[in-house]
Amino acid sequence: MDLKRVVVTGLGALTPLGKSVSQYWQSLEQGVSGCDFIRQFDVTKFKTRFACEVKDFEASDYLDKKEARKMDRYCQFALIASDEAVKDAGISKENVNPDRVGVIFASGIGGLITFQEEVINFASGDGTPRFNPFFIPKMILDIAAGHISMRHGFRGPNYAVVSACASSTNAIIDAFDNIRLNKADIIITGGSEAVISAAGLGGFNAMKALSERNDDPKTASRPFDKDRDGFVMGEGSGVLVLESLEHALARGAKIYCEIAGGGATADAHHITAPHPEGLGANNVMRVALQDAGMKPEDINYINVHGTSTPLGDIAETKAILNVFGEHAYNLNISSTKSMTGHCLGAAGALEALACIMAVTKDIIPPTINHFTDDPELDSKLDFTFHKAQHKVVNAALSNTFGFGGHNASVIVKKYKA
């Protein structure tokens, strides 16, 4: 069977670094930290009091107020970012068949804020079950995909993907597969997350997963630094419009890049910790390269999972050295989580977007907040510390790994006719 080539024709983003793709990319390029003290709720008694929030966000600035009230914050993010992506792709009723346009969207946790609010309201009452009639549809993981399809009338494949922090990378891979197998012409894909709440913060604190650097939030996310002490929570949404090359050319769409391949594996090791030798990460990068028909030396840049956790950063670099061998020292590696924080189920989409911009503009975003070398990491690797680098990027790989041992990698490359 001849597989169709798949290209990216639209992008959307709502992030801690800006409320559009251009703002997001500009902040990444400039090495801006999106971290600050949490403003959404009182964090006085929490071990961690900071996160990378989407700042000054009012849903009513983008959505009808009545409709916005029917959505959790994560779904509002998804709709706003997807609006930008659909507009960027130039999709209209005149140039697409809505039966051939799908939405495959992701979230790692979904409507946690809604769930928390409803449970608190019930627990503080007299026991009478008074729940918001939109409680369930606001909370469920698939509702963002449903809302996006209803907003634009897209009637193709429509579902949600969840694999913790690998969720939106898996969604991108599913969208890629649907198009190259000719099950759709266009798929709106990506992910959204908004769980900076008492339940979210408290839960991750209880796991000892978060940085507690309350004295200096902006430098708390420190991937590959000797003194890293955990990840920083982030929130936001990233959206990609994937389209068959044939269809994109026929309607005269602009093309950012081509999706080359993707892979998914499991660690089969631990519910939260990575395999100490990076076995799953090693395997998933190999699978992605094989799927793309590429060699390790074809990759110029890796946007790593790089969460700033003591174990995770070491395991991932071991995997990179294993897969890429000597070419690992020619690669640029960076963790944009040093700027965005860890956006959980949205991380894969936002980091794939960073790879797309790197390929498009030949600029590699930096890893910020590096102060002390870690002797357990190979110092010859180029982690792109401090400043963006201008370098030809023909192909980039994005890694995402989730609790439960889920691993997903996607490769993007320059489009060539």
For residues 176 and 58, the answer to whether their CB atoms sit within 8 Å is no
For residues 391 and 362, the answer to whether their CB atoms sit within 8 Å is yes
Distance of CA 152 to the CA centre of its chain: 23
Please calculate the CA angle 389-395-400 and round it to the nearest 5 degrees: 90
Instruction: Please write the tens of the pLDDT for every residue from 191-211.
Output: 999 999 999 999 999 999 999
Cite the DSSP H helix spans in 325-346: 337-340
Query: For residue 236, which amino acid is it?
Result: G
Coil vs helix vs strand at 149? helix
Q: Which residues pair with 410 in a beta bridge?
A: 262, 398
CATH class of 262-413: alpha beta
269 is catalytic: no
For residues 333 and 324, the answer to whether their CB atoms sit within 8 Å is no
Per CATH, the homologous superfamily of domain 7-250 is Thiolase/Chalcone synthase (3.40.47.10)
Instruction: Please write the tens of the pLDDT for every residue from 371-399.
Output: 999 999 999 999 999 999 999 999 999 99
Orientation angle between helical segments 279-292 and 310-324, nearest 10 degrees: 40
For residues 19 and 33, the answer to whether their CB atoms sit within 8 Å is no
User: If we measure between CA atoms, which residue out of 244, 268, 269 comes closest to residue 258?
Assistant: 244
H or E segment and range at residue 312: helix 310-324
Q: Would you state the pLDDT for residue 1?
A: 75
Name the residue ranges covered by the structural domains of the chain. Answer: 7-250, 262-413
Please calculate the CA angle 306-86-247 and round it to the nearest 5 degrees: 100
CB atoms within 10 A of CB 58: 10
Gap between the Cα atoms of 288 and 263, Å rounded: 4
Mean pLDDT of the chain: 97
Query: For residue 388, which amino acid is it?
Result: A
Which of 342, 343, 355, 406 does the annotation list as catalytic? 342
Q: What is the pTM of this model?
A: 0.97
Q: Which residues pair with 237 in a beta bridge?
A: 14, 192
Phi, psi angles (nearest 5°) of residue 232: -110, 130
Instruction: Please write the tens of the pLDDT for every residue from 127-141.
Output: 999 999 999 999 999
Which of 35, 52, 165, 257 does the annotation list as catalytic? 165
305 is catalytic: yes
270 is catalytic: no
Which of 147, 275, 305, 370 does the annotation list as catalytic? 305
Instruction: Please write the tens of the pLDDT for every residue from 105-160.
Output: 999 999 999 999 999 999 999 999 999 999 999 999 999 999 999 999 999 999 99
Gap between the Cα atoms of 182 and 159, Å rounded: 17
Per-residue DSSP letter, 48:
-
Instruction: Please write the tens of the pLDDT for every residue from 286-317.
Output: 999 999 999 999 999 999 999 999 999 999 99
